Chain A
Amino acid sequence: MSDEKNCVFDTTPREIFIGDTALFCDSLKLSASAVYTEKNSLGGKLLYTAQETRSVRLAAECRLMHDNAPLDVFARLYSMLVSKKIISVSYRGAEFAGCRLTYLEQKNDGGPVSDLKIEFICPVSEITEAV
């Protein structure tokens, strides 16, 4: 324990960059999946005849503070969604280059804070991490 500060971690949320839009991200969930095709042999043995890998799914949750224009961020992201634009997303040094926006949800309970959920898909080959 030469330096007590080694025990302290900065827990403040970091920015997630979605194209040119920066948001403070409360949580980011990554998930990957694969689909196997199953067949049974004549002898009753289970065989996997094909495997398909799905894109990595990114689900980010952010909170927005807005006195005015509460739909500004949503509108910007929605235009990315409808235009099927391929965008770059980065978070804590990880780069997700070939992302497509698949889902947006904004919830406001009447106050100046909105919860925003954003989901992307990204091919595994497009993910890089800064070392």
Chain B
Amino acid sequence: MLKEILSYITDALTEAGARHVYTAFESVPYDRRPKEPYIVVSADTIETSRPVYTEYEIYLPFTATAAISVIAPEGMPLCGVYDVFDTQVLPATERSGSISCRLKGVTLKYDSNIKRTVLKASISVTGICRLERKSV
């Protein structure tokens, strides 16, 4: 389910024009990632609520907090990071298909582990996941 949620967001980012989008499930080493701004989509929290049953399927409502991080290459001016956020991340949250997204907040900080400036947008994601019933 988590993979599907992140996949919806990466698809929306790609449609919005983002060229380099990774999810937390992709283990591409940082040194092999592009030398231009790239985006990493991960999930901070996920919570499901009471499922709705039908004869053959179970519908599982969920709420998740996704993190969309714009990672800037060394030496990139901050205006470039904000430009990626404004032209690619924000439009993606408006066109994420059957899940509903809402921007909760944005933080900008220097990540000393990867030695890059990271603009992290927290997105509240709500939707309903359909599962097949194993036995009826």
Contacts and interface: CB of A to CB of B under 8 A. Distances in A.
Contacts of A24: 52-54
A56 B52 CA distance: 28
B19 to A, nearest CB: 34
B61 A113 contact: yes
A111 interface: yes
Contacts of A30: none
Nearest to B126: A111
Interface string B67-83: 00000000000000000
A113 B52 contact: yes
Contact of B59 (A12, A22, A65): A65
Which size class do A's interface residues fall under?
A: 10 to 19
Contacts, number: 21
10 contacts: A12-B53, A13-B53, A22-B55, A24-B52, A24-B54, A26-B50, A63-B52, A65-B54, A112-B59, A112-B128
Contacts of B128: 65, 111-113
Interface string A109-121: 0011100000000
Given A111-B128, A112-B128, A113-B52, 15 more contacts: A12-B53, A13-B53, A24-B52, A24-B53, A24-B54, A26-B50, A63-B52, A65-B52, A65-B54, A65-B57, A65-B128, A112-B59, A113-B59, A113-B61, A113-B128
Which size class do B's interface residues fall under?
A: under 10
A63 B57 CA distance: 13
Interface of chain B, helix or strand or loop or mixed?
Answer: strand
A121 to B, nearest CB: 27
A26 B52 CA distance: 9
Interface in A33-77: 63-65
Interface string A1-34: 0000000000011000000001010100000000
What are the 3 tightest A-B residue pairs by CB atom distance, in nearest-first order?
A24-B53, A65-B52, A63-B52
A127 B59 CA distance: 33
Contacts of B61: 113
Nearest to A111: B128
Nearest to A26: B50
